[in-house]
Amino acid sequence: EEANRALLGALDSAAYLVLLDRLVAGVAAPPLLPGTPAKTPAAKMLPALVAGPWKRLRRQVAGLGESPPDESLHETRKRAKHLRYAAELSRPVVGGQAKRLAKKAEGLQEVLGAHHDAVVLSSYLRSAAEATGSYEAMCAVEVVTRPDAVAKQNRQQCHRAWKKVAKKKH
């Protein structure tokens, strides 16, 4: 309740209204260098800007190995998200190729997100069961979460999703 009151107070503040006004003005007239023509056309520049997140994701995946730790898979998810957003931003200029890459990166991101959610849920349920000291609760956690089966399935889906992202046409 205290945090909610603080949040509502911030949203009612003059500083927040100034921020909103500045954001609206920035969208209406982005503060680019006025009168300065672009040296490189967007159609050439945007693919190069997408290449950075693509290379970082590719290196991350290459370093995962056979049985990567959950933290590494979560980092891979974040890199897939960066690639997705970069590709989505370039879509209006680049077109269908960027749209397809964004869609494939989103697929990888979703698979890795499901894996992360399962890992976090499993950890939470185990902690809760241990806190109660109930053997029955601990058994229920193992049956419900089936950590090994879930992890194996998610890793297989991750591999398939990565193959879709890593096609040469992207």
Tens digits of residue pLDDT in 49-68: 899 999 999 999 989 887 78
Place of tokens 């749209």: 99
pTM of the model: 0.67
Residue 126 token pair: 């185990």
In the chain, % of residues over pLDDT 70: 87
Phi-psi region of 146 (alpha: psi -120 to 50; beta: other; left: phi over 0): left
Give just the sign of the alpha carbon dihedral 30, 33, 37, 43: negative
Residue 34 pLDDT: 58
- What residue type is 135 in one-letter code? Y
105 or 164, higher pLDDT: 105
